[in-house]
Amino acid sequence: MWREKYIRWQYVIIALNAIVSLLQIWFTYGHYIKHEYWLMLASVFFFVFNGWFAWRGYKQLREMQAELKAEVWRTLQTPSEVLR
């Protein structure tokens, strides 16, 4: 099914967003040390932005898995005569 492949790719995208978000913390610290406050604020913004996208993607992924599970159970509980 296309959903399983989508779910696998979504996990990869979520992981990449989380990694980029964590790297932004390192960039923020570097800008703070150099007293580059505008760039530090930009790094904080991108940290929050990527973290929010990772969280939202994970939330949507969990909803899709719940819908898939409900659909599978609905199909399994349906008599075979109705499915023809």
Residue-wise pLDDT for 13-44, tens only, equals 999 998 998 899 999 999 889 998 999 999 99
Q: How far apart are CA 1 and CA 7, in angstroms?
A: 10
Does residue 52 lie within any of the structural domains? yes
Does residue 33 lie within any of the structural domains? yes
Does residue 70 lie within any of the structural domains? yes
Does residue 84 lie within any of the structural domains? no
Q: How far apart are CA 57 and CA 70, in angstroms?
A: 20
Question: What is the domain extent for residue 52?
Answer: 2-79
Q: How confident is the model at residue 3 (pLDDT cuts 50, 70, 90)?
A: confident
How many domains is the chain partitioned into structurally?
Answer: 1
Contacts of 65 (CB under 8 A, 6+ apart): 7
Q: How far apart are CA 8 and CA 10, in angstroms?
A: 5
Q: How confident is the model at residue 84 (pLDDT cuts 50, 70, 90)?
A: low
Q: Which two tokens stand for residue 34?
A: 């150099």
Does residue 59 lie within any of the structural domains? yes
Q: Which two tokens stand for residue 41?
A: 């604020």
Does residue 51 lie within any of the structural domains? yes
Q: How confident is the model at residue 78 (pLDDT cuts 50, 70, 90)?
A: confident
Q: How much is the pTM?
A: 0.75
Does residue 8 lie within any of the structural domains? yes
